[in-house]
A = this chain, B = another copy of it.
């Protein structure tokens, strides 16, 4: 396996690396849809795109980041872990809300697009659910109370998804145009309770 192993199989010639990247995204979209997030392997995606598996790491850094590119997630998944790195639950709760709102505010329409995928394709809902559980929930879990971490993480998920629905899809006031720090101060205590309280 070498990083020069780019052997295009698809019609038309490639003018450069950007074509490899596009071919990988296109292939990944198909393979994820067929096999789900867990089932799809880097090797099978690269093979579908007609390129060497090393290209996935070269262009994306791994399966998680490739999936993020497929759903046009406005953030590199690797950054999420470092942003959330704190052992103080109340600080973690504030960071979760601040990160969520800042990211999606900066990429208007993307959240609604994601909801559309989830609503139109059962397989997308399952995949995107799995992806966010892996991405965010496992990070929350390491900081949440040790009893029922899955449940605590999922409860945080309900509040954040609902905030996104209200702000970016339903666009209901006064949530739609509330300031970021105002949302942080109103909603972070909910997440903190889900992370630390007796349930």
Contact = CB atoms under 8 A, between A and B. Distances in A.
Q: How large is the interface on A (under 10, 10 to 19, 20 to 34, 35 or more residues)?
A: 35 or more
Contacts of A166: 154, 157-158, 161
A4 B141 CA distance: 63
Nearest to A148: B174
A33 interface: no
Interface stretch (A41-49, A81-89, A125-133): A125-133
Contact of A162 (B119, B157, B186): B157
Given A158-B159, A160-B162, A129 B193 contact: no
A11 B9 CA distance: 56
Given A158-B163, A189-B193, A190-B190, A172 B129 contact: yes
A25 B159 CA distance: 34
A40 B16 CA distance: 54
Interface of A: 112, 115-116, 118-120, 125-126, 128-129, 133, 150-151, 154-155, 157-163, 165-166, 169-175, 178, 185-187, 189-190, 193-194, 197, 199
By Cβ-Cβ distance, the 5 closest A-B pairs, closest first, are A162-B162, A158-B162, A129-B170, A116-B119, A161-B162
